[in-house]
Structure formats: C-alpha cells, structure tokens
Structure 1
Amino acid sequence: MSRTWEISDSDAEVEKESNGTLQSRERSGDSAERSVSVPPPSFERDRPGPAKRRRSKEEMEADRDKARQRREAREKNRAAKERQKQEKKKEQEKRKEAAQRLKPENCLQCLTVCVDPALLQQPGCDILLGTLSSLEWRYSIRPQPLANGITWTRDLPQLTDGATGTVAEDQLVQVLSASQFVDVAVAVKKLIDSDGEELEGDSVPGPLAEGFRPDAGQVATILVTEYRGPAFAQAVRSRSGGGDVDVEEVLVFLQLRKNVAVFFVESWRDVADHVCAVTKSLSKRPLKQLTERARLPFCAEGSWAGGARVEKDGSGLRRVWSEQIRQLNRVGGATASCVTAAYPSPRLLLQAYGAARSEEERKKLLAHLEVKGDGQDRRVGPQISARVYRCLTARNPELVLD
C-alpha cells in the first residue's frame, strides 16, 4: 500500500523562498570570489639584509675629529658674531655720544668766554659778567693778546689718550670806547693817505696792532661804546691836526683790507647781547660743519631727484628737451609737451627757424600750436613762442627773454 504525500501551498512557497535564498547566496559568493583577489605570498621580506660592516677604530676616531672640528667652527662663528655685535653696539654708542656732544646745548658747556682784565676797569663790564653768570655759561678772566679783547676756547674731551685739551676759536671781539676808536680812525687815515706805501704789511693800526694776526684766520670785531657822532668827528679832527677824516672810509678799509668789522653800540647791554650771540653761534658750529659737508652722502639718481636721466641708448633726451622748455617763465608742462611733440629735438626746431623767411615768422612759429589742457584747449601764443625763439637763438647771455 503506497502513501502519497501532498504539499500544501504554504509549504511550496517556503520551499521557493529557500531555494531563492540559496541561489542568491550562491550568486553573491561567486561575485565575492570574482571581486576579491588574494595576492600571492611574498618571500622578499623574509630574506635577510646585508650584514653591516663594523667600523674600525681609525674611522671612529676620524669621525670624532670631524665632529669636534665642526663644533669648534660653530663656536668660533658664534664668538665672531658676538664680537661683531659688541663692536657694532660700541660703535653705535660712540656715534650716539658724538651726536650728543654736537648738540648746541651740550656744546655750550664746552665753551669758555675769555675776558681781558682791562675790561673790568670799565663801569659796564659787570653787565656782561652778570649776563654770563645768569645763563650759567663759563667765563674766565685772563690776559688776552689783544687789549680789551674777548676770545673763546673750546674743550676737547674726545682725545684718544683720555686727556682733555682746549682749542681757541677764530672769533675775536674788542670793546673800545669812542675816544679809543679815535686813535684807530686817525691811524687808518694815515695809511689811506700814504697811497699804499705802508699797506704792504699785515699790521692793523692803532689798538689792533698788537696781538691781532690776520694771517691766522681770525675774525675780528670792534664794538665802539659811547659813540656820539658830532663829538666823535670833532675828536677825530683835533687828533688828526685839523684834517678831515671820513669815518665811512675808515670802516670800509678795515672791512675790506683787514677783515675787521666795526659796530657802534649804545651801552654795555648791547655788548653783552653781541657776546651771547657769538657764543650761541659757536655752539652750533660743530653740528653745522657735520651737516653742511660738500659731499652729500646720498644718491641723486632716484626718480625724486631733479632733472631727467639720460640712458646710454639715448632714451630720456625727449624729457630733457621738455624740461629745458619748462625752465622758461610761465611755461607749464602741457605747453612744453606740445612743443616737443611738434619738434622732438632742438635741432629740428632750429632747422624750422632757418627755413622761415622773416624774423616775425620765426617768432610766431610756435604760436599756432594747440595745447590740450584740463577741459579747455588753447594755443601756445605769440609771447611764449617769441620767448622760446629768443632762448634758442640769442647770442647775448644777459638778454632778458620776457
């Protein structure tokens, strides 16, 4: 007796699902096998490397010597840089100290006003000494080569051996009363009347004869106090035996032939002001000598410098020609560019002048040129045209172009 098994619909569906799942797993496995590739085993890493050669004792010593030499070289370079840094710092400090010494307020402390003892006998000298004391300036009462003279000395603390020294300034002031200056005027008048027979020497007449050396480069100044015009002329006339002495002639002779300036002052207050002015001027001299050197330490080839630069290939000559025209009075850059555009060189303009038939045509040659300005156009005009013509063709160096 045979049995027949029946499969229900639900079991059939389960079987289909299981078969489908197996098939999908098989397909995914096949695709995974196709996508994943396993590299073959490598045996290179398992090979032993070459054996390191053992260094000898001499090689190790040589390496140590090289390392020591490099270390010593680095230390030497470091020490050299440190020395350079210290030297640079010292140099900067020296320049800073020198700049501080050059300041007028510091230079005043190095100046000494030397006053001749003979001036103390004059009643107004205490005004001068009182003024110097109030300003805390140094002064000294010492005999001077020139009677009634005032000189200046400067301390030199920058000597290399550490010792201090002094140098005499070239300024010299002599204070004379009106009666004392009469002797100078009479002596100068005699020299002028001698027709040059006694003018060959370098002596200065009167009170200036002793102690003053024009060949030493001294700049002398005479301050005449208590000056009264009529009284002074009468005193000069009586001293010269009734002769007529022109004071202006005496002053011109002293200024031109002896480099001696004469100033007439009313009181000792003016004398003190003059001495103070000279002292302040001397205090500014070192700084001015440093800043007003003949050779200026800068390059004048930059774009900011005046003028135009001409290269070796000739470029820049057009600009030089334009700047030359701009030097004329009331000629601007637009006018100069207009002229140089019409005549790129002076030779071309001179050739055009030569081709003109009359003088009037030459003067008006550039008058019709149009000058393009900001918003308005104009012409060069006959005045500027004639001025350019006279500038290029005139032979008189003193000719006024306008």
Structure 2
Amino acid sequence: MEKVSALRRAKTWEISESEDETDVENKPTTLLKWQEKEATIPSVTVSTDLTEEDANPDKTPPSPAAKNESRKTCALPPPPKPSAGPGTPSPTRKRRSKEEIELDRQKGQERKKARERAKAAKVQEKEEKKQEQQRRREAAQHLKTLRPENCLKCLTVCIDQALLQQEGSDILLGTLSSFEWKFLIEIQQLRYSITWTRQLPDDGDKIVEEEQVLLVIGWSDFLHLVPAVKMLDEVGDGTARNSYLSPLLEFLNQDVKKVVTILVTDSPLEYIRSSVSEDSFEETLASDLGMDQLEIEEVLVYLQLYKNVSLAFLDGWQGVTKQVVAVTKALSKRPYKLLTERSELPFCVDGSWASGTRVERDGSGLEQVWTLQLQQLNRVSPVVAATITAAYQSPRLLLQAYQKLESEEERKSLLAGLLIKTGGKERRIGPEISSRVYRCFTSQNPQLVLD
C-alpha cells in the first residue's frame, strides 16, 4: 500500500512546483493525457516522498471516489487468461448430426470428382490438340508429296522392248536421262506401247498403273489399221479378232479405264499439212488407202467415241519424245489438281444466296440476281460485280452498249475503265475481266472456255 501511495503521489505531483493552483485547475486535459500515458508504462518511479496533504495544505483532500478512480487508472493490466487446450471443446460449438456429416462427405466426394473430371478434360484436350497437330503435320507432308516436283520422282516411264529396235528411239531415252526421270524397259502387255506407273509413299510404297497409254506405230501399220476399224464399224467386234486391231481390242476389254493414244510416226508431210494443202491430202489418201477424207474421219470418230482411242500424227521420234514428256508432266500435276478441286460446282459462290434470291412482283430483287450472276464468273468478286451492275443495271443495257460499239476490241474493253473502290483505294476492272464478261454474254459457242 505504501508503494501505491508513492505511485499516486508521483502521478499527482508531476507538475512543476512553480505553477500555481490556478494553472493546474485550468489544464485538466493535459493532466488526463499524462495519466493515460503513465498508465501504459509498466515500470514505476517515485520522484518525491511528499504526500498530497503536505504539498497542498490549503486544498481539500480528495474524496474516496477520486481515490478509487486514481487506483483504477494506475492499476496494472490484468494478466491474460489461459487459452483452452486442444482437447477442450468450445462451449459454443455444436456437435454435427450424422446427416450433416454424410452431406459434407458427399460434397467432398463431388468436389474430388469435379477436380478429377477437370483434370481428365484437360488431359483429353491436350491429347486432342496433340493429335490435331499430328494430323496437320501429316496433311502438310501429304500435300508436299503431291506437288508436281515430288510426284515426278514417284513416276516411272515403262517402255516396251520392241520400241528400242526402231531408229530414233535413243532420242527418247536420252531426254528421260537428261531430266533424271525414272524409266524402265520391259515387255508390255500391249506391244509397242509406253505406260506409266506411280509409287504411293503414303500407302506402303504401293505401285499403281496410270490410265494413259501411248501406242507407237508407223505409217504402214496405220494403213492396215484403218480398213480393220472400218470393217469393225460395219460388221461388229466378232469378225475383227484375226485382224490387226485384235491386240488393241483385247487390251481395252481387259481394262476399260485405259486411255489409249495412237502415235503415228513417219507419216508423209502431205498428211501432216492437210489443213494447208487439201489436194495433196486427198491424193495421199487415194493412193495409199483408197479412201476419201470423210471415211477417214469416220474411222477416227468411231475410235474416239466407242473405244476411247485418239490418234496423233507425228514426224519421227522427236514428236514422240515431246508427247511422252507432255504426258509425264500432266500425270505429275494430276494428284495435286484432284486434291484442290472442290466437289461442288466451281462457278457457284458461297453464301446465303444458295437458295436463290426472291424477286417481287414490282421487280425488286432483280438487281441482286444480276449481281450474283456476274459473281458466278471466275475471279469476279462482289465488289467488281456491284461496280458493273451500278454502271449497267440489267443485262439488256449491257448488251445494248455492246451493240453500239463498232469494233470487237472496243466491246472487249468496255468495262475495263470502270473504277472499283476498296478500302479507300481505287483501281480499274481491267481488260481481262472485261473481255471475259463480253465473251460470256455474246458468245454463241456453248463449249467456249472463258479463261
């Protein structure tokens, strides 16, 4: 108790003795802040031994309530309560029922299954992405093998041994060797023929035969072939078995997909230049075959329509070599063209107009039909078609504009000067598209190729 009194005296008389009683009474806030500050200090230091009555004899002694308040302010903070042990249950915690425990267990299992499903989905997505990349690499590799320069390495030119006995066949062998193309000399099913085989790297290096076949014969053989075909046309296939045409017919009967081209070598120049000198052509036929031009044309048409056989007249093995080189290059380009060709009609553009454009009774919709009609042409974009329809609102107006022009060149270049505005830039339609549109709307030939 003596220590607490000393502490109380120290807290009360911390103010300097020089200050009068009035200043102490006028600064209660300062004293309160000082008491709060001293209450937080754990250590206590007694600065004087004077009591409150000795220091201030004239002042009224403090009341018991003030003493209690002073004791509360100067009292040390209570010690912390001991924490509850880990095994001691909280008095406010409620025990869970079996239903709640089962519900929590089910929720935990559902969360676990959800995590497993997400993990499996992620693994599956990763695997699908890997497979897609593998498919793309295989497709790119397959596309690379189908390019003409790579297909040439898979083609082999098969030459019948009997052709090497003819003079000038070394021209063909020398040309194939200079191009570094593969060729094979062996006995063919059709004598005096040239065929092609293709190696398929994607199918275990399988070797397939191409459909193209070249049959090389001389002028004398052709003279025997024409009467046989003429007889075949008149009496049928049964009587031509012992003729010169029978080996060719047997070869075609075994495989109807074969496309045979007969190359006639060493033909007279008068026959090759028949379009220039008709008199010499008729004299040659009359002297060699005893047939006129009409009968020869009938034989050629019969072979092409009924037997899928065409003829070409060449001047020696130089022409045969050019023909073999041309067919080989065409076969090398064939797989890539078949891959890039679309199954749908190439002149139909994609879009919502596939079902047609509705034309009302007042004529609305005809301009859209006219625009779509122009878009069917190759390399005619919607912007180009809209430019043409803006200048000529109907096909009749375009045909009338063509009729007003005098020369053919002016008609072809009628649309070349029209300006097309795309992306803030201007360009002209050009003579190529203008000429194609002109041929499309004015040509009388249904078999005309526009490009």
Q: Indicate the TM-score class for this superposition, using the shorter chain for normalisation.
A: 0.5 to 0.7
Q: Contact 1:307–1:323 at 8 Å: present in 2 too?
A: no
| Pair 1:199–1:245, CA change in 2 (3 A) | farther
Deviation at 1:237, TM superposition (A): 7.0
| 2:166 is the alignment partner of 1:117 | no
**d(CA) in 2 for partners of 1:120, 1:251:** 28
The aligned amino acid for 2:252 is: F
Partner of 2:37: none
Partner amino acid for 1:81? E
In the alignment, is residue 143 of structure 1 matched against residue 187 of structure 2?
A: yes
**Aligned residue pairs, count:** 278
User: How do 1:65-144 residues align onto structure 2 when only pairs under 5 Å count?
Assistant: 65-144=109-188
Paired position in structure 1 for 2:317: 268
Within 5 A, what are the aligned runs for 1:168-183? 168-183=209-224
Shift of 1:116: 0.7
Give me the whole-angstrom Cα distance separating, in 1, the residues matched to 2:363 and 2:337.
40
- For the structure 1 residues 317 and 70, does the alpha-carbon distance in structure 2 shift closer, same or farther, using more than 3 Å as the test? farther
Question: Is 1:257 equivalent to 2:267 in the alignment?
Answer: no
Aligned to 1:218: 258
- Report the TM-score when normalising by structure 2: 0.51
1:354 aligned residue: none
For the pair shown, which has the larger CA radius of gyration, 1 or 2? 2
> 1:272 is matched by which residue type in structure 2?
T
Q: Judging changes above 3 Å, is the alpha-carbon distance between structure 1 residues 308 and 117 closer, same or farther for their aligned structure 2 residues? A: same
Asked if 1:279 is matched to 2:336, the reply is: no
Conserved 8 A contact 1:145-1:210: no
CA contact (8 A) 1:109 1:137 kept: yes
Shift of 1:82: 1.2
Cα distance in structure 2, aligned partners of 1:119 and 1:290: 35
Alpha-carbon distance between aligned partners in 2 of 1:230 and 1:309, rounded to the nearest angstrom: 58
Amino acid at match of 2:140: K
Deviation sequence 1:149-178 (CA, Å, 0-9, x none): 01111122223xxx3312211111011121
3-state SS of paired residue (1:174): strand
Q: 1:294 to 1:114 in 2, by over 3 A?
A: same
Secondary structure, counterpart of 1:109 in structure 2: coil
Task: Indicate conservation of the 8 Å contact 1:116/1:143, yes or no.
Answer: yes
3-state SS of 1:212 partner? helix
Q: Classify 1:259/1:99 alpha carbon distance in 2 versus 1 (closer, same or farther; 3 Å).
A: same
Q: Could you tell me which residue of structure 2 aligns to residue 309 of structure 1?
A: 357
Contact 1:184-1:207 within 8 A present in 2 as well:
no
SS at match of 2:312: strand
Q: Decide which of 227, 233, 239 is 2:267's aligned counterpart.
A: 227
Give the match for residue 340 of structure 2. Answer: 291
- 1:245-270 Cα offsets, whole Å, 9 max, x none, are 65444333322332211111112121
Shift of 1:125: 1.5
Work out the CA distance in 2 between the residues paired with 1:142 and 1:63.
78
CA displacement, residues 312-369 of structure 1 (integer Å, 9 cap, x when unaligned): xx779744334568989xx9647748x9xxxxxxxxxxxxxxxxxxxxxxxxxxxxxx
Equivalent residue number for residue 365 of structure 2: 320
Deviation at 1:285, TM superposition (A): 1.3
The SS at the match of 1:158 is: helix
Structure 2 distance, partners of 1:180, 1:270, is 18
Deviation at 1:103, TM superposition (A): 1.2
Q: CA deviation at 1:91?
A: 1.4
8 Å contact from structure 1 (residues 189, 245) kept in 2: no
Q: Which residue of 1 aligns with 2:379?
A: none
Deviation at 1:225, TM superposition (A): 1.1
Structure 1 residues 178, 321: closer, same or farther in 2, change over 3 A? same
Shift of the 252–334 alpha-carbon distance from structure 1 to 2, 3 Å rule, reads closer
Q: Aligned-residue CA RMSD in angstroms?
A: 4.3
Q: Secondary structure at the match of 2:196?
A: strand
Inter-partner Cα distance in structure 2 for 1:157 and 1:201: 45
Structure 2: unaligned runs, 5 residues or longer: 1-89, 272-280, 375-387, 397-451
- Partners of 1:182 and 1:236 within 8 A in 2: no
SS of the residue corresponding to residue 152 of structure 1 reads: strand
Aligned position for 1:186? 227
1:63-102 alpha-carbon deviations (Å, 9 max, x no partner): 6645543432232122111111111111111211221122
Percent identity of paired positions between Structure 1 and Structure 2: 39
5+ residue gaps in structure 1? 1-48, 340-402
